[in-house]
Chain A
């Protein structure tokens, strides 16, 4: 009886041709002995064969051509986006390089600037450091936002 119930649960998958060899063998053996299961199996098989004979809906006329045009457009958009990435990347690198280069400049003009503004050199150095860090953080944040936006645009395609 237990075997009967177990086989009964396998009949859908048997009709779907989705059993492994061992299960298939068990099911076939049982079907020879049990007319009730055989009838049930035949009924599932009718359903699955009807499913595989469902009429295929025709793709709409011109679908391939419209898709091709869409692909051409998107290829152009992608190219432009890649170019934009490159330009943005260069600008950000340039910004960072400028702040780096400003340190040697501070060594040269720091003294004069401090004298001219009539403040200690340490204050000038501190101000410069704050400026550098702020610039780095700002470019980092901008790069992050841009990256996120490009990613979202990419996903929305």
Chain B
């Protein structure tokens, strides 16, 4: 009864005893059902992190291989989704550290004082921008954001995770997640403001 309630509430039917038992016994069909269920979300998350479709696909596959290897150590009390995304997070960070170490400590475009943001801080201008070019420019600006910030933004707004869940995925304190959301949004607005300025000059 409780299991069903949890499953409905958190959308993680993996907490069903039978499904987990099947997964643990190495049932590949049960695992494939999950691969299918999470394909778009997990792929999107990895793509936002590494930005290259080929690499995102590799990491996607590696994530599921690791899930298969580690499913026995998965604690059923834990939210399956945050466990799955933390497996993907670790693989992506390993990849970035190994092949693109510079990407892990990209600074935000400039400082963070409100003065720096002034050109873009006019809400009506920003509104106009968002209405006109919303998706394309925003996606571009997201891609330019340092990886730690675009990661929390995609987890919060695209995956719609709670901050506590994000903290669990990244294994960082809640306060760090808050700081990253705050700085990420500011950096994003700054990037959009820059684009907007260039856009209006053209």
Min CB–CB distance A62 → chain B (angstroms): 10
CA distance A154 to B114 in the complex (A): 48
Partner of A39 from B66, B68, B123 at Cβ < 8 Å: B123
Q: Which of the listed residues A56, A59, A68 has the most CB atoms from chain B within 10 Å of its own CB? A: A59
Instruction: Identify which of residues 97-130 in chain A touch chain B, using a CB-to-CB cut-off of 8 Å.
Output: none
CA distance A54 to B163 in the complex (A): 20
Q: A42-B123, A50-B134, A71-B65 are in contact. Are A64 and B185 (CB under 8 A)?
A: no
Q: Does B195 lie at the interface of the complex (its beta carbon under 8 Å from any beta carbon of A)? A: no
Partner of B39 from A16, A64, A75, A78 at Cβ < 8 Å: A64
Partner of A46 from B57, B127, B160 at Cβ < 8 Å: B127
CA distance A42 to B68 in the complex (A): 45
Partner of A54 from B123, B126, B142 at Cβ < 8 Å: B142
What is the predominant secondary structure among interface residues of chain B facing chain A? helix
CA distance A73 to B26 in the complex (A): 13
Min CB–CB distance A71 → chain B (angstroms): 6
Q: Does B6 lie at the interface of the complex (its beta carbon under 8 Å from any beta carbon of A)? A: no
Q: Does A144 lie at the interface of the complex (its beta carbon under 8 Å from any beta carbon of B)? A: no
Q: A70-B61, A71-B28 are in contact. Are A40 and B182 (CB under 8 A)?
A: no
Q: Does B188 lie at the interface of the complex (its beta carbon under 8 Å from any beta carbon of A)? A: yes
Q: Does A74 lie at the interface of the complex (its beta carbon under 8 Å from any beta carbon of B)? A: yes
- Tally chain A residues at the interface, Cβ within 8 Å: 39
Cβ-defined contact, B35 with A67, below 8 A: yes
CA distance A50 to B127 in the complex (A): 10
Cβ-defined contact, B43 with A59, below 8 A: yes
Cβ-defined contact, B43 with A57, below 8 A: yes
Instruction: Identify which of residues 81-129 in chain B touch chain A, using a CB-to-CB cut-off of 8 Å.
Output: 114, 121, 123, 126-127
Partner of A71 from B31, B158, B163, B178 at Cβ < 8 Å: B31
Instruction: Give the residues in chain B near A46, CB-CB below 8 Å.
Output: 123, 126-127, 130
CA distance A15 to B61 in the complex (A): 35
Instruction: Identify which of residues 20-48 in chain B touch chain A, using a CB-to-CB cut-off of 8 Å.
Output: 26, 28, 31-32, 35-36, 39-40, 43-44, 47
Can you report 21 residue pairs joining A to B where beta carbons are below 8 Å apart?
Answer: A8-B114, A12-B185, A18-B178, A43-B123, A46-B123, A46-B127, A47-B185, A47-B189, A50-B138, A51-B188, A53-B134, A54-B139, A60-B57, A63-B57, A66-B57, A67-B32, A67-B35, A70-B65, A71-B28, A71-B35, A74-B65
Closest A-B pairs by Cβ, 8 of them: A43-B123, A51-B157, A59-B43, A52-B157, A59-B39, A12-B185, A12-B182, A70-B61
Spell out A's residues near B (CB within 8 Å). 8-9, 12-13, 15-16, 18, 39-40, 42-44, 46-48, 50-60, 63-64, 66-68, 70-72, 74-75, 78, 154, 157
